[in-house]
Amino acid sequence: MHEDDQLMLAHRQGDSQAFETLVNRYRRMVFGYLRRMLMDDARAEEIMVETFYRVHRAAAEYEPRGQFKTFVFRIAHNLGLNAKRDGARWQSHASLDEQLPPTPDVQENLSAMAAPDPEMRLQQRQSVEQLNRALKKLPDVQREVFLLYYREGMETPEIATVVGIPSGSVRAYLSMARKVLRETLESAGVR
């Protein structure tokens, strides 16, 4: 039996340590996925906590079929979608907010970028940031499919389960995402 399944069954039997082990195993993945999905760290953290709470509450019904990762990501994805839907209507009023100076956080990041890091590290970081900027331009579903595939290392059927679309659609979205990213990055002069 898969180790995650064993932990879930142990949790079901009242072993709270097993639950904490599971959470600690997946918290970084889930939080990373949600913060890229929601573009809001505080909200992502809330949804991450809610996700694991739902996992806990669903322990009694959990079927140990070696798909815990898919299970937890499906919950995170659905909760993230709800949060995104609630937040989709709001944006800062640009004409007013443009007048605000960048926060020290931004300035720190810019300073860190300019710091004499090893060249390779800097290039890598810049590449990642360029890719993340390009990712933000993708439609939500394409970005989510892309992240699950490339970042979380999920297979197409697993992604289909998480997102709730057919496997063929997952492959199509991946293909479209790659095409758009390539065009975006090339036009930005990345290559």
Residues of this chain that interact with another protein (CB under 8 A) are: 14, 16, 19-20, 23, 27-28, 31-32, 35, 41-43, 45-46, 48-50, 52-53, 56, 82-83, 85-93, 95-97, 100, 103-105, 124-125, 127-128, 131-132, 150-151, 178, 181-182, 185-186, 190-191
Kindly state the smallest distance separating residue 85's Cβ from another protein, in Å: 5
Answer for the pair 100, 44: CB distance below 8 angstroms, yes or no. no
Q: Of 41 and 155, which CB lies nearer to another protein in the complex structure?
A: 41
Q: Tokens for 172, please give them.
A: 């199509």
Kindly state the smallest distance separating residue 161's Cβ from another protein, in Å: 21
Q: Of 111 and 124, which CB lies nearer to another protein in the complex structure?
A: 124
What span, in angstroms and rounded, lies between the C-alpha atoms of 160 and 68? 15
* Nearest Cα residue to 139 out of 83, 94, 184, 72: 184
Kindly state the smallest distance separating residue 170's Cβ from another protein, in Å: 16
What span, in angstroms and rounded, lies between the C-alpha atoms of 44 and 42? 5
Q: Of 104 and 118, which CB lies nearer to another protein in the complex structure?
A: 104
Q: How far is CA 104 from CA 3, 70, 101, 109, 110, in A?
A: 43, 38, 9, 8, 10
Q: Of 89 and 116, which CB lies nearer to another protein in the complex structure?
A: 89
Backbone angles phi, psi at 127, to 5 degrees: -65, -45
Kindly state the smallest distance separating residue 60's Cβ from another protein, in Å: 10
